[in-house]
Amino acid sequence: MKRLIVSAVGAALLAYGGTVAYLQHFDHITAPELPASSPTLKDPVALAAFNALREARCDYCHAEQRDLPFYFRVPVAKTLMEKDRANGLRHFRVEPVLDAFEQGTAPTEEQLSRIEEVITQNRMPPNLYLMMHWHAHLSNAEREAVLKWVQDTRRKNYNNTGAAEQFAAEPIRPVPESVEADPAKWTLGRKLFFDKSLSGDNTLNCASCHGLDTGGVDNLVTATGIGGQKGPINTPTVYDAYFKMAQFWNARATTLAEQAAGPVMNPVEMGSHNWEEVANKLNATRNTHRCSRLHLAQMPRLMKKPSPRLLASLKKRWLRQMALLMNTSKASRMPLVSRPNAGMNALRPLVAQVAIPALVWVDAAWKSWVLKVITSKTVVAS
């Protein structure tokens, strides 16, 4: 009996050893390879990292269309492996990283950070996998090689924030003090951010949900859209959105340009129907502003022969502009005063002490001039 048990154990160990040896051979012959033209072959740091990830066979669970080991087809093991592989594909995809190695380019910052995290915490490969793939256990030297590649890649490709040298390879770095931008574009962007013409019923603008005086959000559990509709998610902040690697909570937009088009056409958010309609409303607003500038340009000519009706109209406009500057109930039409801006709030005392008295004096002078013009017209007429 004892001999039988020893024989069974020996046979099991022999089978286990043979399986491990076969899997090692299978892993190596089916592992990802770099083409002869790959720039990575001439980069010792990147090549060492590639070899470490290749040895671990991360692509088994983090890439599709791979030749999988035989036990993925064994009934009991198949169920466990399929679950692990589904989770692996959901959490991280290694194909873009392998493509970057092949082309000699840099993976995204997110991909670098994910690799750095699992290597630093020694979470991958998992222990159950290592029981059958002994060679996949990464040594300290291999882990250091991967981490060095991550840090070097950050320094070469993402060191654009002005961070000090000792922090240039960190996963989280300070944002730069300034960013070069086209003044015409950011001026237009600021106007559109507060323009309610973007919404279907002209009641909402971007600032309705992204208040610049409330951290770029609306401080609500879920956003309130057109017609009082409640959205399904919390409003993300627009502060530092320029530096985000992806937009929206689910990262479905990779750039701000992609993100900007979403809320305008969302029927629950701003509720516009098509971009042609939005463009027509914006053009109408622009034409109105042009007409206002035209009237101002023609003012000297009109003042040569003023009529009582024209004088009354101009007087009404002037008083309205005074009301706007003095921040009355109509001030919401005056972007300079009504927009939520801490800088403008700081200027209010200056407006109260200097600008308003000056406007009162100008108004008195205006009244005197109007009275003089009307009187002279009356005298001439008589």
Please state which of the ranges 143-147, 211-215, 300-304 shows the lowest mean pLDDT: 300-304
Q: What was the pLDDT predicted at 49?
A: 96
Contacts of 346 (CB under 8 A, 6+ apart): none
Quote the mean pLDDT of the chain: 79
> Would the pLDDT of 336 be above 70?
no
**Whether residues 32 and 157 fall in one domain:** yes
Between CA 328 and CA 165 the distance in angstroms is: 52
Best-predicted range by mean pLDDT (36-50, 283-297, 311-325): 36-50
Q: Assess if residue 157 is contained within a domain.
A: yes
Cα separations (Å) of 223 from 199, 233, 253, 270, 282? 15, 7, 19, 11, 25
pLDDT tens-place string over residues 158-189: 887 777 888 888 888 777 778 888 888 888 88
Mean pLDDT of all residues in 255-260: 85
pLDDT confidence band for 363 (50 / 70 / 90): low
**Whether residues 108 and 6 fall in one domain:** yes
**Whether residues 238 and 354 fall in one domain:** no
Q: Assess if residue 297 is contained within a domain.
A: no
More confident residue, 313 or 201: 201
Mean pLDDT of all residues in 20-35: 92
**Whether residues 311 and 259 fall in one domain:** no
Q: Assess if residue 239 is contained within a domain.
A: yes
pLDDT tens-place string over residues 298-322: 444 444 444 555 555 555 555 555 5
Total tally of structural domains belonging to the chain = 3
Q: Assess if residue 177 is contained within a domain.
A: no
In which domain, by residue range, is 373 found? Answer: 305-381
DSSP string, 147-209: HHHHHHHHHHHS--S---GGGTTSSS-PPPS-----HHHHHHHHHHHT-GGGSTTS---GGGT
**Burial of residue 307, with CB atoms counted within 10 A of its CB: 0-12 exposed, 13-18 middle, 19 or more buried:** exposed
pLDDT confidence band for 128 (50 / 70 / 90): confident
> Would the pLDDT of 297 be above 70?
no
Quick one: what percent of the chain has pLDDT higher than 70? 75
**Whether residues 13 and 143 fall in one domain:** yes
Structure tokens at 354: 């200097």
**Whether residues 136 and 50 fall in one domain:** yes
Mean pLDDT of all residues in 332-345: 42
Residue that finishes a domain, picked among 138, 167, 196: 167
Residue that finishes a domain, picked among 134, 167, 200: 167
Between CA 41 and CA 104 the distance in angstroms is: 9
Quick one: what percent of the chain has pLDDT higher than 90? 34
Mean pLDDT of all residues in 42-69: 92
**Whether residues 132 and 242 fall in one domain:** no
Residue that finishes a domain, picked among 103, 135, 167: 167
DSSP state of 1: -
CB 302 within 8 A of CB 310: yes
CB 226 within 8 A of CB 232: no
CB 203 within 8 A of CB 226: yes
Please state which of the ranges 27-31, 63-67, 71-75 shows the lowest mean pLDDT: 71-75
**Burial of residue 274, with CB atoms counted within 10 A of its CB: 0-12 exposed, 13-18 middle, 19 or more buried:** exposed
Mean pLDDT of all residues in 253-260: 85
Q: Assess if residue 289 is contained within a domain.
A: no
**Whether residues 358 and 209 fall in one domain:** no
**Whether residues 132 and 209 fall in one domain:** no
Q: What was the pLDDT predicted at 178?
A: 80
Between CA 298 and CA 20 the distance in angstroms is: 90
Q: Assess if residue 27 is contained within a domain.
A: yes
More confident residue, 180 or 341: 180
Between CA 45 and CA 221 the distance in angstroms is: 47
pLDDT confidence band for 368 (50 / 70 / 90): low
Q: Assess if residue 230 is contained within a domain.
A: yes
Mean pLDDT of all residues in 77-100: 88
Structure tokens at 33: 């390879």
**Whether residues 49 and 91 fall in one domain:** yes
Structure tokens at 241: 């959105």
**Whether residues 96 and 245 fall in one domain:** no
CB 325 within 8 A of CB 359: yes
**Whether residues 240 and 214 fall in one domain:** yes
